Amino acid sequence: MQRRQFLKLGSLGTMAALSGLPLVSQARSEYKIKKIRYYAAPGYNKPLFNQARGIVEVETDSGLIGIGEGGTPDMVRQCAEMLIGEDPFRIEHLWQYLYRGMFYPPGKEKLHGLGAIEMALWDLKGKALDVPVYELLGGKTRNYVECYATGFRKSTANTMEGRALDCLEAGLRCYRIGPTGGNGDMPFDFYEHSKKTIALCEQLDKAVGGNGNWAVDLHTRFDTPEAIKICDALEELEPYFVEDIIRSENPEVYRTIRNQTKVPIAVGEQFGDRWDSNVLMENHLIDYSRVTLPNTGGISELKKIIAIGETHYVGIIPHFTGPLSTAALVHVLGSSSPTRCMIELAGGEPEKPAYFNEDFIDFRDGKVHLNDRPGLGVTFDPEKADFLFEVTKNTEFTHPFLKSPDGAIHNW
């Protein structure tokens, strides 16, 4: 049994294995984290999203490597300097340590870095046990995950309607547009652009025949009067969802929004861990969560958010961030509850950078399919990325936390 190559079983563990009893705490990984490296993604420069897309390598003393994506260099370094010498298989334990090992709770930027490292730990564990990450998360619940496009690069059409039809014909579930008006020095007139956005949606709905074949992102641009005006006009149409109807600083504002509209509401791309999303889900204020990787703090955290959503009948349609994160989303959504879900593909197809294997994501007929390669199924070529730093020692500063008698980590 290959698993035994990676686990040390004491005499009690061996007896338990032979008797069919659970191993509980007798099984321990042979590995220790030896190095954590960070690479910048070549050519990636999108300050608009103020989100780094670096590649993280977690290497064990045996030479086994797992990869993750996300986090700024300073945040990844801070997390990395707490993990050298730790057992990489104890993913939830290490997540709690990184999350609670400082006095102040982590902000969203640190969650991105934590999520990148946690993603790498799952990839490493899958490779060690020679199974895909989705098998470690409970096994397949889907054969593929539906996708929707923001823009459609393959289209040769010169109209929005033509691009949307090409997108649907290619097998994607939904075509998403944004509001009218863009960046620059021109004043953004709320009245003018609320009317233009309504007209654009009506135009698109007529072209693709309703049926949830399109969606619109209001991009948090409008104040409440214009946001509700747009939603009122769209109720008679059939959008799959209306996204980010109003600004995201105060989730409680969606109590007001929900009371004034019946359109399907999607919110969450600017959120982080499950505490950010809980009030929206628990109070039935949204229909779809837009949280994603690595922003939630990692794979385990996203699974928990999806589970909370399932209990309140909230679907999951993650925002795009980076190519490796998209591959990781397939493992999470492909092993999650049968709630409605989609993955966003900017431009209508996965980005395929040169530093990953060509087939790192299986995209066919407008859908992403689960692959059976170990870990996340992605091979990283560090020679094609920009090396920034390596951490081989823990910080000299202590990280205070409390342990309960059973060994669980608590806040200091």
Burial class (CB within 10 angstroms; exposed 0-12, middle 13-18, buried 19+) of 314: buried
User: For residue 319, what is the domain's CATH number?
Assistant: 3.20.20.120
Token output for 287 = 């229909």
Q: 385 in a domain, yes or no?
A: yes
Which residues, in sequence order, are CB contacts of 48 under 8 Å at separation 6+?
none
Q: 50 in a domain, yes or no?
A: yes
Helix or strand run (H / E) with residue 146: strand 144-150
Same domain, 148 and 235: yes
Beta bridge partners of residue 356, listed in sequence order: 380
Same domain, 221 and 309: yes
Q: 292 in a domain, yes or no?
A: yes
Q: 5 in a domain, yes or no?
A: no
293 neighbors 321 (Cβ within 8 angstroms): yes
Same domain, 149 and 237: yes
Same domain, 386 and 362: no
CA dist 164 and 175 (Å) reads 6
Same domain, 141 and 125: no
Same domain, 200 and 58: no
Domain count, the chain: 2
Q: 14 in a domain, yes or no?
A: no
Same domain, 121 and 146: no
Same domain, 313 and 334: yes
Of 196, 138, 144, 203, residue with least CA distance to 173: 144
pLDDT in tens, the chain (412 residues): 344 344 433 333 333 333 333 333 334 678 999 999 999 988 776 655 667 789 999 999 999 999 999 999 999 999 999 999 999 999 999 999 999 988 888 899 999 999 999 999 999 999 999 999 999 999 999 999 999 999 999 999 999 999 999 999 999 999 999 999 877 667 889 999 999 999 999 999 999 988 899 999 999 999 999 999 999 999 999 899 999 999 988 889 999 999 999 999 999 998 999 998 999 999 999 999 999 999 999 999 999 999 999 999 999 999 999 999 999 999 999 999 888 999 999 999 999 999 999 999 999 999 999 999 999 999 999 999 999 999 999 998 877 778 888 988 888 7
Q: 18 in a domain, yes or no?
A: no
Same domain, 264 and 147: yes
Same domain, 158 and 229: yes
Predicted TM-score (pTM) of this structure: 0.91
Q: Which domain holds residue 295?
A: 136-369
User: For residue 125, what is the domain's CATH number?
Assistant: 3.30.390.10
Q: 159 in a domain, yes or no?
A: yes
Same domain, 113 and 244: no
Which residues, in sequence order, are CB contacts of 138 under 8 Å at separation 6+?
335
Q: 26 in a domain, yes or no?
A: no
Same domain, 120 and 260: no
Sign of CA dihedral 101, 106, 109, 115: positive
